[in-house]
A and B are shown apart, each in its own frame.
Chain A
Amino acid sequence: MMKTIPLQDPPESFPKDYPEAILNAKDIWHSYDGRSYVLRGITMELREGFFTMVLGRSASGKTTLVKVLANILKPVRGKVHLLTRQKASPRPIAYIPQNLGLVRNLTAWDNVMIGALGYTTTLKSLVPRFDRKLSAKAQEILMALGVADKADQKIWHLSGGERQRVAIARALMQNPQIILADEFVSQLDPVTSMEILNIMKKLTQSGIAFLITTHDVALVKKYANRVIIMKNGEIHSEHTSMDFSLEDLMDEIR
C-alpha cells in the first residue's frame, strides 16, 4: 500500500509550527538504461532541522534518489526545486557519497578546504591561498569534530571514523543547508557510528536538513525524526513519529 504524505497536508506528528520545506522533489522518475525505472514517481520534501533516514533494501533506488536530489543525476522525468535562500548559502547542498569521495593523496586539511572552493577565486585556490576567515572556519570545524590533530595527515593514514569526520568537515565548509549522505556510517563499528550520528544530530538542531540512506534499522529508530521507506523505486511509507517497534520497521522493509 502506498502511503506518501502530500506537502499541503502535513501529518499529525509534524509539530504545529513545522519548518518550511527547503527542497521539493516532484514526481521523480529515473532510468539508467531507458527501459527499467530505478525511481518511479518519487515525491518528497526536505525540511530545516529534520534528520531523515531513507531505509530500503539493496537496489531499492536509495543511491539514485540521493544523486538526483544532489543534482548529480538529471531525472528522466520530474523536477527538484531548491527553496533555500540563495544569499544564506550559495552552495546549499553538500553530498557525501558511499565511499566518502575524499582525495586520498591529499591531507585531511586540504580535503576540508575543498569544501571552500566554491567561495574562493580560481587563482587563490590554485596557489593555494585561502582567505584567513575560511582557514579559521576549517580549524574550528576540525576542532569541533575532534580531528584537528589529524589535519596534516594524508587520508589513507586515517581510520574509518576519522575519514567520516573529515567528509563531514568538508561538507560543513560549504555552509550547506542540506547534507545528503549515501550509506552513511555503514562501514563503521557501532560505537563510532553512534558518535558520528550524535554529531549529525547536533548539526540538525542548528537547522541543517540531513538525509542519509541506510539499511541499519536499529540506528534509524535511535536517531532519525523522520523515516522514508523505499521499495522498488517508490516511497512505500513515511513516518515522522518513532512510536513503532523495530520489528514493525523490518516487516515494512521486507
Chain B
Amino acid sequence: MMVVLMVGALSLLSMFRLGLFDPSRLFLASKNIMQFFAEIFPPQLDLLPTLSRAIGETIQMSFTGTALGFLMSLPLAFWGARNLFGRLVGAVVRLVVSGIRTIPSILFGVIFVIAFGLGPTAGTLGVAFYTVGYLAKLYYEAFEAVDPEVIEAVKTTGCNRLQLFRFVILPETANTIISQLLFMFEYNIRASTIMGFVGAGGIGYYMVGYVQMLQYQHLLTALLLTFLVVMMIDYFSFQIRSVVHHHSLSR
C-alpha cells in the first residue's frame, strides 16, 4: 500500500515537473494540435507515383537487408550455440551479437551513410546489421533448445559439428528459423522507413523532408501509404507464419 502511494506521488511530481499540469501550456498545445490536424488534410494524391517509388525502395531495403542479415546471422548462431562449440566460443559470439544489438538501427544508418553516401545502399546495410543483432540471438537460443538426447545419440555416430547442424539442429529448428525470419522482414519495413530519416533511402527520406518544409498534407500522404503497405505485409506474413505454425503443430 505504501509502495503504491509512493509511486503515485512520484509520478504526479514528475508529471508536474514535465509541464503536464500547466493550464496555459496545455491550452496552447491543444490549439496547435487542432491547427496541425486542420492543415494535414486532405492527402495529396498527385504525389502517389513519386511516393510509391520511394516506398518500393523501402520494401527493397527491408527485403535485401533482412536477407543479408539472415545469411550473416546463421554462422554466428552456429558458433554461438554452446551445445555445439562450448562456453568460450559462445561467450565471444554473445559479446559480438549483443554489441551489435546495442547500436540503434538509425545509428547504423548514419554510419553507412558516412561510408557509402546518401541512398538505399546505406539503408540496406543498416537494416542488415540490425537484423544480425536480433536473429543471431534468437537462432542460437533456438539451437541450444534442441533436445540434448537427440544430439548425444547422433554424436555417437561419429559425425562432426557441421553434419550435426545439417541433420539435427536445422531440421529441428526449421519452423522457428522461418517464422522469426518473416517476423523480422515485417518489422524491418518500419526500421527501413526510419532509415530514410538520416538519408539512407526510401520513403522516410521524403517524410522527414515534408516535416522540415511544413508540408503536412504531403506528410499525411506518405504516412497513409506506409500504413497501407505495412498492413498488407503484416497480413501476408501472418498468413505464411500461421501455415508454418500449423505445420509444426501437426507433429
Contacts and interface: CB of A to CB of B under 8 A. Distances in A.
Given A99-B149, A102-B150, A117 B157 contact: yes
A118 B159 contact: yes
B167 A70 contact: no
Contacts, number: 81
Contacts of B160: 122
A190 interface: no
Question: Interface residues of B toward A: which range?
Answer: 20 to 34
B156 to A, nearest CB: 4
A88 interface: no
A161 to B, nearest CB: 18
A56 interface: no
A72 B157 contact: no
A173 B157 CA distance: 9
B174 interface: yes
A117 B168 contact: no
Nearest to B164: A117
Contacts of A116: 157
Given A102-B150, A103-B150, A103-B168, A93 B156 contact: yes
Contacts of A91: 156-158
Contacts of B157: 91, 94, 114-118, 170, 173-174
Question: Interface residues of A toward B: which range?
Answer: 20 to 34
B160 to A, nearest CB: 6
Contacts of A105: 171-172, 174
Contacts of A98: 149
The SS class assigned to the B binding surface is helix
Interface string B237-251: 000000000000011
Contacts of A103: 150, 154, 167-168, 171-172
B210 to A, nearest CB: 49
Q: Which of A93, A101, A102, A170 has the most CB of B within 10 A?
A: A101
B152 A114 contact: no
Contact of A114 (B154, B172, B250, B251): B154
Contact of A122 (B153, B162, B250): B162
B171 A106 contact: yes
Contacts of B150: 97, 101-103
B31 interface: no
B166 interface: yes
B98 interface: no
B215 interface: no
A95 B156 contact: yes
Interface in A59-101: 67, 70-72, 90-91, 93-101
B25 interface: no
Contacts of B50: none
A15 to B, nearest CB: 30
Given A103-B154, A125-B167, 20 more contacts: A71-B156, A90-B158, A91-B156, A91-B157, A95-B156, A97-B149, A99-B147, A99-B149, A101-B147, A101-B154, A102-B150, A103-B150, A104-B172, A105-B172, A105-B174, A110-B167, A116-B157, A122-B160, A122-B162, A173-B157
Interface of A: 67, 70-72, 90-91, 93-106, 110, 114-118, 122, 125-126, 128, 156, 170, 173-174
17 contacts: A93-B156, A95-B156, A96-B153, A97-B150, A97-B152, A97-B153, A103-B154, A103-B168, A117-B154, A117-B157, A117-B159, A122-B163, A125-B163, A125-B166, A126-B166, A156-B251, A174-B156
Interface of B: 147, 149-150, 152-160, 162-163, 166-168, 171-172, 174, 250-251
